[in-house]
Amino acid sequence: MDAAQAGARELERFFNGQFTISNKEGINNLVTQADFASEKAILEVIKSAFPGDGIVSEESPEEKTDSGYKWIIDPIDGTVNFANGIPICCVSIGLEHDGAMEMGLVYNPFIKELFFAEKGKGAFLNDQPIHVSQKTEVIHSCLVTGFPYTYIREPNGPLQVFERLITRGIPVRRLGSAAIDLCWVAAGRFDGFYEHQLHAWDSAAGYLIVEEAGGKVTNMKGEKYSPYEYGIVATNGHIHDELLQYVNGTIAEPAKK
């Protein structure tokens, strides 16, 4: 909690102000002065309290240790939103122990929403329990996705899956922050989320929050999810198998009138 709040203070300090912006590999893959400041603040808290733990953070090289614990950090998830003054962005921190996620925290300081989950203890928004929705069909669902800046035209990629859904009238949103997308599935605001290309810091905290809220998370083949692979499907559980069919192109075509 202290680490997330330390990072969030840096987001608030820089938001809608003056800060430097640079580009990493790929188009519009931004990193800002605020990303580095937030990361620095988060790491100072974690390293002070848990000096022997490993760390994976988006803007720094991985720090490996033998402790069995690993902190997975995104100092700003939704950097493009942040850089453009759009308050859909957050700090995301997950804790992994011996390869299993134990804790996830996602905090958006601009709308004062703090999502938290601990393995086996449920999921919470601002200390209140949250649960996934009860929709049972994709056609009646509200979905969310993200589009990578590369890979966009790959076979059975983001555009083709998006087309399958929207041509049937299924609402699909794009917020620009995978961590928030996952948390909003956990809170029942969305019924499902899928994305083709994520990194561990994008999803590690959020996917545990979905599972602890009663949802289901797999890779795009429907297998056990790992934050170290790119593709993800996260749902309320009820629509999961059907959404996988849309994602994989095995859904039956609608009957022609």
Residue in 58, 59, 181, 191 annotated catalytic: 58
Is 58 one of the annotated active-site residues of the chain?
Answer: yes
β-strands 90-97, 69-77 pairing: antiparallel
Name the amino acid, one letter, at 227. Answer: P
What is the largest distance, in Å, between two alpha-carbon atoms of the chain?
65
Is 202 one of the annotated active-site residues of the chain?
Answer: yes
Task: For residue 111, give both structure tokens.
Answer: 């709308």
Residue in 10, 77, 191, 211 annotated catalytic: 77
- Edge-to-edge strands, sheet with 90-97: 54-57, 69-77, 90-97, 100-108, 113-118, 123-125, 128-129
Q: How far apart are CA 233 and CA 143, in angstroms?
A: 11
Is 53 one of the annotated active-site residues of the chain?
Answer: no
Residue in 42, 73, 76, 209 annotated catalytic: 76
Residue in 10, 35, 74, 96 annotated catalytic: 74
Residue in 96, 202, 211, 212 annotated catalytic: 202
Residue in 35, 55, 73, 79 annotated catalytic: 79
Beta bridge mates, 193: 144, 234
Is 27 one of the annotated active-site residues of the chain?
Answer: no
Q: Hey, which residues are catalytic here?
A: 58, 74, 76-77, 79, 202
